[in-house]
Structure 1
Amino acid sequence: MSLIASDTQRIVVGLGVTGLSCARFLAKNGMSFSVADNREIPPGLDQFRQEFPDVTLSLGPFQAGQFDAADELYISPGISLREPVIASAIQAGVKISGDLDLFVQSARAPLVAITGSNGKSTVTTLLGAMAEEAGLKVAIGGNLGTPMLDLLSDDSELYVLELSSFQLERCAGVNAEVATVLNVSEDHLDHHGSLLAYHQAKHRIFRGCRQALINRDDMLTHPLVPDSVRQWSFGLQAPGREAFGLRDEAGAVWLCFGDEKLIAADEIHLAGRHNLANALAALALGKAAGLEMASMLSALRKFKGLPHRCQHVADVDGVAYYNDSKGTNVGAAVASLRGLGDRFQVVLLAGGQAKGADLEPLVETLQEVGRAAVFFGESAPVLSEYLGEGLPSQCVSGMDEAVLAASRFAQSGDAVLLSPACASFDMFRNYEHRGECFVDAVGRLAQGRLQ
């Protein structure tokens, strides 16, 4: 590695996957930098030392004023801009950037940028599959899978990125060909401080975009953009001209573009009406990006969904079990409850770290479509108090106990849904681990080995 000597002091703040990708990008472009992390042993430490043995690395708690003399900070998404040492640097006039800024400066192919409180991973992955089906060389990642800087290539014909509010809040402009906020509900309030600040961070995705996609069912997704920005829309009601939506005809539900029927809902391998909204969003984004409709519909027919997102696990004694462990906020859990509530009475498994969110809307929806509830984790007492005597419920201490309790509440023809509405870190390594524990417990239940 050969870095060009410079008086410019660049610091990558936060290691991990994003920090490593920033380091690789800066090194590849010959730009000198150092790295700081407030953890003694951050993720990716060994890999960093192997790749960049000569780069200065500062570990351990940040010190007051540590970054005030820097020229530019590349801040990893997990570090809040309200962190005192970061706020001090901002006050001192230090330029704040992130991996998204570096990506925008370097990408040469069109970008479809996707954010939202829920569904963004499904829409990103599905749109990527549609572009591949259409024969494009597409790079898919961002907050999902491969870090965006590692995707940069002169061969790419299209980028499809999932972007988080954490990434967006420190980006000057995204300059996407097509940008969307799929939906907005309370999430990450412990990081952003308020729903307004969270909403504002999400809407930074529209900065510099040429086309925008809005959700007609969620006014919080509608951007303030110039008239020159073409706007598309999707929603779960009948669409108008040049819009995507659902139509009921002869007892069948169809995904439509205007008056044109595109595909019947029963041809799609995704559970719940919220996933019909995700499919409509992907079709709309692809249409805006110039993808052929036939290729998009072919990809949609093949798409089986993502693990831990309203994923059908098994049927046991006439009860369908669904793993929606990625439902880490109230809006996601409510969407899954309503989606399955069209077909089933639902026994809900929920709980964990609420991240400052109001859990009452979850309980209100549960009372509409639920048969019973099983609560676990830090938020279990709060959820139980909200539900009161409205439905049968039980608080448990582990996933095996939760699945066993749910199986006793459920009746043939019901669904058991793990959609926790909370983060997982009080009991599990991450949401994937939580979902895997659920799938394992359901498997043992089916074999008669869960006790």
Structure 2
Amino acid sequence: MNDWQDVSNVVVVGLGITGLSVVKYLGRYHPNLSVRVIDTRDNPPGLSELPAGVECHQGGWRSEWLAAADLVVINPGIALSTPEIQQVIKTGTPVVGDIELFAWHINKPVIAITGSNGKSTVTDLTGKMAAAAGLQVAVGGNIGIPALDLIDESIDLYVLELSSFQLETTSHLKLKAAAFLNLSEDHMDRYQDLEGYRQAKLRIFAHAEAAIVNRDDPCTFPDTFSGAVATFSISQVANFSLQYIDECEYLVANGRPVIGCDHLKLVGRHNLANVLTVLALLQHAGISYEKGLDVLKSYTGLTHRCQVVEDNRGIQWVNDSKATNVASTLAALSGLTLKGTLYLLVGGVGKGADFSPLAPALDSLNVRLCCFGRDGQQFMPLHPAAKQYETMADVIADIAPQLLQGDIVMLSPACASFDQFKNFMARGDAFVDLAHQYA
């Protein structure tokens, strides 16, 4: 717990949604502090919403502000390796993120989820099932609402999605249960290697009472941990796993059947792993998942995540714009039931990733690979039926007249979106508009 008596000057580095939430939190709970903002962008988002009296330096750094700060709060989009931040760290001034401020403030139970893929679905479903058990639940963090904006005395439980970037600057977050879902190559433009990325995510277990880890992915296991450990798996024996009973597949918790898989509306095998994780998190947080089974049965997932947005003339249009890395796209492909041709839209900003692991999965499918965006060319060698386009709209205009009953048009790009779109949500919305237009 931080001693705020030692702090009088705070510099918030990076505005946007998270930075603005930090500024508002400080104004609400620590109104006597001097708070200033630095953002290297000329016109950062959130600038017009800054409270009166909060000074903002734009378009570069302000070294004298950093030198005078007692505490620096950085946006997760800013790497700790940034020279200006490294200089602050060398002087001994604390550099933290918004989740660390949240950790200092909160005295209510918290569940948190990290991983390369699936964490948004797990976070959202955990929150919904906990609410069905009768709790006042706040869900956010890296998904939806910033953690500091969730703070409310009426809340019984916080459920947070946490990225590796957020965990880098978090040291004191106490958790009833924490899950590390999986690890795959991502953000290699930020980390020196995959192990550096893994170590950032493992920080989620630093002060957790229970660790939920993936039996199918040993990288998710903490190197050292003194609390309870529960495993989940869709292919091996685990605490939370799948089992056939009377020729029907069930989700099983510690050997006890919970629900038949055919009762779920979620699409894809990867989502079975997500549900098993939710069951484990709730159980280890002391929350009855049985009370949330009706919610689980009706849950269809999140927007932009393997979401069927059109099903017309026997042709499905699937929006998986959240698939910003190879592992996400592989997960989407593994969950498909394909009767016709798969038109798979890939491309965008590759973030230095290796796309070759997609090739074996594509070989087993009747697929037309539609490559677009800045790094679309990098997908061309992966399959003989690959074609290059400039934009997603160009793809749809070309393939729409060829579509037949049983075909699937899936946007699962394995790339970030910011070459042609503001974010993955905008990319997904554009795909949905095209689906409505051509379906």
Q: Into which bin does the TM-score normalised by the smaller protein fall?
A: over 0.9
Mapped partners of 2:231, 2:399: distance in 1: 39
Q: Tell me the CA shift for residue 58 of structure 1.
A: 1.4
Q: Does 1:354 align with 2:347?
A: no
Mapped partners of 1:395, 1:315: distance in 2: 26
* Contact kept in structure 1, 2:253 and 2:279, CA below 8 Å: no
Which residue of the partner structure matches residue 43 of structure 1? 45
Counterpart residue type for residue 88 of structure 1? Q
Which residue of the partner structure matches residue 158 of structure 2? 159
The 3-state SS of whatever aligns with 1:315 is strand
CA gap of 1:261–1:343, structure 2 versus 1, over 3 A, is farther
Mapped partners of 2:6, 2:248: distance in 1: 65
Mapped partners of 1:239, 1:343: distance in 2: 31
Counterpart residue type for residue 231 of structure 2? S
* Contact kept in structure 1, 2:100 and 2:170, CA below 8 Å: yes
1:261 equivalent among 257, 260, 271: 257
CA gap of 1:444–1:226, structure 2 versus 1, over 3 A, is closer
CA gap of 1:188–1:80, structure 2 versus 1, over 3 A, is same
Which residue of the partner structure matches residue 329 of structure 2? 333
* Contact kept in structure 2, 1:110 and 1:177, CA below 8 Å: yes
Mapped partners of 1:209, 1:294: distance in 2: 24
Which residue of the partner structure matches residue 367 of structure 2? 371
Q: Tell me the CA shift for residue 434 of structure 1.
A: 1.0
* Contact kept in structure 1, 2:104 and 2:172, CA below 8 Å: no
1:277 equivalent among 261, 273, 280: 273
Which residue of the partner structure matches residue 10 of structure 1? 10
Residues 401-448 of structure 1, C-alpha deviations (whole Å, 9 max, x = no match): 2224444665532322210000011111211111111111111212xx
Q: Tell me the CA shift for residue 7 of structure 1.
A: 7.2
Which residue of the partner structure matches residue 223 of structure 1? 222
Mapped partners of 1:177, 1:127: distance in 2: 13
Counterpart residue type for residue 442 of structure 1? A
Mapped partners of 1:71, 1:54: distance in 2: 19
Mapped partners of 2:338, 2:175: distance in 1: 36
Which residue of the partner structure matches residue 398 of structure 1? 391
Q: Does 1:233 align with 2:235?
A: no
Counterpart residue type for residue 357 of structure 1? A
CA gap of 1:393–1:172, structure 2 versus 1, over 3 A, is same
The 3-state SS of whatever aligns with 1:349 is strand
Pairwise mapping of residues 40-439 of structure 1 onto structure 2 (< 5 A)?
40-48=42-50, 51=51, 53-62=52-61, 67-227=66-226, 229-237=227-235, 239-240=237-238, 243-340=239-336, 346-384=342-380, 386-387=381-382, 390-407=383-400, 411-439=404-432
The 3-state SS of whatever aligns with 1:189 is coil
Q: Which runs of 5+ in 1 are unaligned?
A: 447-451
Q: TM-score, normalization: structure 2?
A: 0.94
Mapped partners of 2:184, 2:329: distance in 1: 11
1:34 equivalent among 32, 36, 40: 36
Counterpart residue type for residue 12 of structure 1? V
Residues 33-76 of structure 1, C-alpha deviations (whole Å, 9 max, x = no match): 2111111211110110xx2x222221111256762443221001
Q: Tell me the CA shift for residue 217 of structure 1.
A: 0.8
Counterpart residue type for residue 209 of structure 1? A
Residues 306-348 of structure 1, C-alpha deviations (whole Å, 9 max, x = no match): 1110001222442322110000111111111111157776331
CA gap of 1:6–1:255, structure 2 versus 1, over 3 A, is closer
The 3-state SS of whatever aligns with 1:372 is strand
The 3-state SS of whatever aligns with 1:375 is strand
* Contact kept in structure 2, 1:308 and 1:323, CA below 8 Å: yes
Counterpart residue type for residue 232 of structure 1? A
Q: TM-score, normalization: structure 1?
A: 0.91
Residues 157-204 of structure 1, C-alpha deviations (whole Å, 9 max, x = no match): 111000111111111232211111111111111122321211111111
Aligned-residue Cα RMSD (Å) equals: 2.0
Mapped partners of 2:124, 2:339: distance in 1: 26
* Contact kept in structure 2, 1:215 and 1:221, CA below 8 Å: yes
Which residue of the partner structure matches residue 449 of structure 1? none
Counterpart residue type for residue 167 of structure 2? L
Give the number of aligned pairs: 434
Mapped partners of 2:245, 2:316: distance in 1: 28
Mapped partners of 1:185, 1:409: distance in 2: 35
Mapped partners of 1:410, 1:239: distance in 2: 41
Counterpart residue type for residue 131 of structure 2? E
* Contact kept in structure 2, 1:239 and 1:257, CA below 8 Å: no
Counterpart residue type for residue 17 of structure 1? I
CA gap of 1:342–1:402, structure 2 versus 1, over 3 A, is closer
Q: Tell me the CA shift for residue 226 of structure 1.
A: 3.0
Counterpart residue type for residue 129 of structure 1? K
Q: Which moved more, 1:341-350 or 1:176-185?
A: 341-350
The 3-state SS of whatever aligns with 1:439 is helix
Mapped partners of 1:115, 1:409: distance in 2: 40
Q: Which moved more, 1:371-380 or 1:333-342?
A: 333-342
* Contact kept in structure 2, 1:74 and 1:97, CA below 8 Å: yes
